[in-house]
């Protein structure tokens, strides 16, 4: 599969995850979010940027439980909980947010 943004083609897997992490940019993220029916707000970007930092540091997309805990640690308990994250990403912060962030599907996510 492929995604077209500003006239450039980006390869994705069959579920729409970007194949080449390094090709990611904010416009690609917006296009990926649109495909998920998500209007990107500042709160969405905060999670996306957190995920990208996490990936840069650990080379994996975190499991939802780990993401929730890590966000709570960094951004406070009002954001480090499932309700907050599922309100932002209704089909699962692991899957949807990782996709928008240009990361691979989280390990163990089915």
Nearer to other proteins, 38 or 62 (CB): 62
108 is a site residue for other proteins (CB under 8 A): yes
Contact with other proteins (CB under 8 A) among 65, 74, 77, 82: 65
How many angstroms separate the CA atoms of 30 and 81, rounded?
Answer: 24
Count of residues that interact with other proteins, criterion CB under 8 A: 12
Binding positions for other proteins, 35-54, rule CB under 8 A? none
19 is a site residue for other proteins (CB under 8 A): no
Can you name the residues that pair with 5 across neighbouring β-strands? 8
How many angstroms separate the CA atoms of 67 and 34, rounded?
Answer: 23
How many angstroms separate the CA atoms of 22 and 15, rounded?
Answer: 18
How many angstroms separate the CA atoms of 79 and 69, rounded?
Answer: 10
Q: Name the residues that contact other proteins, by CB under 8 A.
A: 57-60, 62-63, 65-66, 69-70, 107-108
């Amino acid at each position: 599969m492929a995604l077209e943004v500003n006239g450039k083609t980006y390869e994705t897997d069959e579920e729409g995850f970007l194949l080449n992490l390094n090709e990611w940019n904010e416009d690609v993220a917006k296009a990926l979010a649109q495909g998920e029916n998500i209007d990107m707000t500042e709160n969405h970007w905060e999670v996306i940027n957190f995920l990208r930092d996490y990936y840069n540091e650990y080379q994996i997309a975190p499991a939802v439980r780990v993401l929730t805990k890590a966000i709570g640690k960094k951004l406070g308990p009002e954001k480090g909980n499932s309700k907050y994250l599922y309100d932002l990403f209704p089909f699962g912060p692991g899957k949807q947010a990782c996709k928008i962030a240009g990361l691979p599907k989280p390990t163990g996510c089915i």
